[in-house]
Amino acid sequence: MGIIWATTNTDVALLADDALLMSSQARLAHHEGRRTSDVPLSEVPTLNAVASQWLGSRFCARHITRNLERLSGQPFFWTRETRGEEAASWLLWRHKYDYLRRTSRWFPGMRRGFCISEADVAESPMYERVLLLLAAALMEAFGIIVELSAEPEHAEVEGFVLGEEAIVANWLGGSGLWYVDSSVPPSRQ
């Protein structure tokens, strides 16, 4: 039921804004090569929430992929999804699958952390819990070690990768479409 629910809702929302989403990608393409980019939602005021999240997620995945050579050792990847509705993006969006494949090959045995508090689990319907578990299982199928934190304050931490350097890539729960940086300013550490 969770997969059908997520697929239907995502598909309907993305198809509703298909043409606008394509034109928004072209209009925002100049951000691609930048080390830092902070795009407010006002840049795409007519996109629905799912289309905006897809656009932000895709940009963040590409940003991290462009900056993988800046990382060394066994970096730690932190993701901000805390509920099944948010984690469904890992299961449904091709750029997320491609991102997992590429990063897991670049860093075999990599670690990815989530914050899943007891309150979020208790408040989530069963089908959302299943989506969250399936997202973690997908990552583990790529050889990624999934680590969980139950500390509620960790849910506010932006998405990041921490190796010798830090890369911030956040599209979920922020005030804008995305915020990325490949050399984290002190205010974000």
Q: What number of CA atoms fall less than 13 Å from residue 77's CA on the CB side?
A: 23
Of 81 and 1, the structure prediction assigns the larger pLDDT to: 81
**Beta-strand relationship, 36-40 and 76-78:** unpaired
Question: Tens of pLDDT along 12-27?
Answer: 999 999 999 999 999 9
What pLDDT, on a 0 to 100 scale, did the predictor assign at position 184? 55
Q: Considering only residues 185 and 151, tell me which one the structure prediction assigns the higher pLDDT.
A: 151
CA distance 116 to 83: 7
- pLDDT at position 2 is 86
Radius of gyration of the chain, Cα coordinates, nearest whole angstrom: 16
Q: Which domain holds residue 79?
A: 2-188
Does the pTM surpass 0.85? The reply is: yes
Q: Give the neighbor-by-neighbor strand order of the sheet with 166-170.
A: 36-40, 176-181, 166-170, 160-162, 76-78, 111-115, 145-149
CA–CA distance, 157 with 113 (Å, rounded to integer): 11
Confidence of residue 174 (pLDDT cuts 50, 70, 90): confident
- Angle in degrees, 0-180, between the axes of helices 18-28 and 2-16, rounded to the nearest 10: 70
Beta pairing class for 160-162 and 76-78: antiparallel
The count of domains in the chain is 1
- Sequence-distant (≥ 6) Cβ neighbours of residue 29 within 8 angstroms: none
Handedness of CA 166, 171, 173, 179 (dihedral sign): positive
Token readout for 179 is: 């915020």
Distance CA 25, CA 58 (A): 10
Per-residue pLDDT of 138-158, as tens digits, reads 999 999 999 999 999 999 999
